[in-house]
Amino acid sequence: MLLDATAVEGRTRQFVELLDEGNVDQAVLVSREIPPIEVGLIVVELTSDVAVSFCKAAGMMYSAVFLDPLPARRIAKFLSSLPEKEAMDLCRALPANGIADVLVDMDNGWRDRFLEYLPEAQSETVKRLSSYENDVVGAIMSSDFIAARSGASVPMLRETIKTLPKGRSPREPFVFVLDAGDRLCGMISWKDLLQGSEQSTVNDIMVTNVVAVRDTDKAMEAAHIYQKRGLSVLPVVNKEDHLVGVVSLEEALELLAHEAVNTYPFCGQDDESTFTPVVGSIRRRLPWMSLNVFLNLGAVAIISGFEETIEELPIIAAFLPMITDMGGNVGIQALSVSIRSIALKEADFSDIFYSIRKECFVGIINGSSLGVLFGLIVILFEKNWMLALAAGLALGINVLLACLVGGCMPFLVKKCGLDPAMVTGPLLTTITDCTGVIVYLGLTQGLLSYIISNE
């Protein structure tokens, strides 16, 4: 049943009133129509007797569902107020990663007794989760997942999932497939599992190219993988490639949000923004533009070296701005994509080779298309096939080089600790100007006799 905010508020008041009246059984029924976190916030403020009565009536498994979203420290404080037996039963019903977080805030004596109270397998899992450093994947992963053995029957797996206790199904709608050595070898969405035929096995419907991280990798790196790849779930393996947990989307988003909050107030201290004072903007921009003046002298020197060629056929100078400007424009496109990816944490220096491969293909296709188009324009105006060949080929090569430079330069500049938005523009225009001039005038000089004979 869907409830609006007013209805939820009414149910919440009714829930509190029923608890005050001691009508625990009815309160349990009403609680199922309230968001779990709201139920949890109310229950942890109850007296010990009422809280125990409610949790027993609701069942420890269901009680763990509404406690789990609360901060671990608040859960630990609540458990400390309960009789030890009930507190241990309730804590045991939490997911293993939730137990590990709660135990950090419990006193050592209670923690030791609780670990002895757990079944051996569950106790070992909790101890392992508690052993990770706070900033690694193992500290944020959940051990609450479903795994199937390679070769398992799809119908049998569906029936097994149906027997899972209500409210304890993993949040991620995926089944992970393990080989005989418990190594992760595939993954199946519940949708594919439901659509699988009665004769199929998990090997027939699983996806094998699974992106996974190590339990000892940095947690922020896993969050950025989530962001870059657009994943729905991220499995975690240990050094033996055994599946040990999953990182949920909620955990990844929480880390990314925390990073954004911590980074935002300082983002303008080193890099310029719209709100940087005028003096600060001048101080950041002027040195690079001054350097650009001297760098452009290289293009002037190159053109001077082809002075005789230009004097012999002045028309070739008319097409030179088109080649250099097109290179700059194409380079800025690639540059903007790379800078935006870096700013949004979608890519870093490790992705530079992927960017180079991508821009190489883009540059070849766009360069060929623009080169042919420019060549046709030259033919239309000058009726000279050889000049069109030189101009079109020079434009195509310059576009390819501009894509490559624009795509990889921001990563190199960022690696050096400089601001890509400030540095790369002047360098890119200088490089594309120089390469455009060299390629175009070099080709026209080499083909000069053929160009003149076609006049």
| DSSP per position, 126-159 | HHHHHTS-TTBHHHH-B---EEEETT-BHHHHHH
Q: How far, in Å, CA of 68 to CA of 36, rounded?
A: 9
Residue 409's pLDDT is: 86
Judge whether 296 and 430 are in contact, CB under 8 Å: yes
CB 329 within 8 A of CB 357: no
pLDDT confidence of residue 264: 44
User: Sheet holding 243-247: strands in order across?
Assistant: 213-214, 234-237, 243-247
Furthest-apart CA pair in the chain: how many Å? 105
CA angle 97–99–100, rounded 5-degree value: 65
pLDDT of amino acid 265: 42
Which residue in this structure is represented by tokens 């060949």? 389
Q: Which tokens sit at 408?
A: 């990889």
Question: Minimal CA–CA distance to 437: which of 289, 268, 314, 317?
Answer: 317
**Rounded to 5 degrees, what are φ and ψ at 153?**
-75, 135
Tell me if residue 110 falls in helix, strand or coil. helix
Phi, psi of 174 (to 5 degrees): -140, 150
Positions of the chain with pLDDT under 70: 1-6, 164-172, 256-276, 281, 285-286, 288-289, 291-300, 303-304, 344-346, 452-455
- In this prediction, residue 365 carries a pLDDT of 92
Taking a C-beta distance cutoff of 8 angstroms, is the pair 245, 143 a contact?
A: yes
SS3 234: strand
Q: Look over the chain and give the mean of its residue pLDDT values, rounded to a whole number.
A: 79
Contact 171, 69 (CB under 8 A): no
What does the pLDDT read at residue 291?
A: 67
Q: Which two tokens stand for residue 153?
A: 């029957």
Closest by Cα among 147, 140, 141, 222 to 187:
147
Contact between residue 71 and residue 100 where contact means Cβ atoms under 8 Å apart: no
Q: Is 121 helix (H, G, I), strand (E, B) or coil?
A: helix
Burial (CB < 10 A; 0-12, 13-18, 19+), residue 166, is: exposed
Q: What does the pLDDT look like over 391-416, one tens digit per residue? A: 889 888 988 988 888 888 888 888 88
- Which pLDDT belongs to residue 1? 42
Alpha carbon dihedral 261, 65, 147, 232, in 10-degree steps, equals: -30
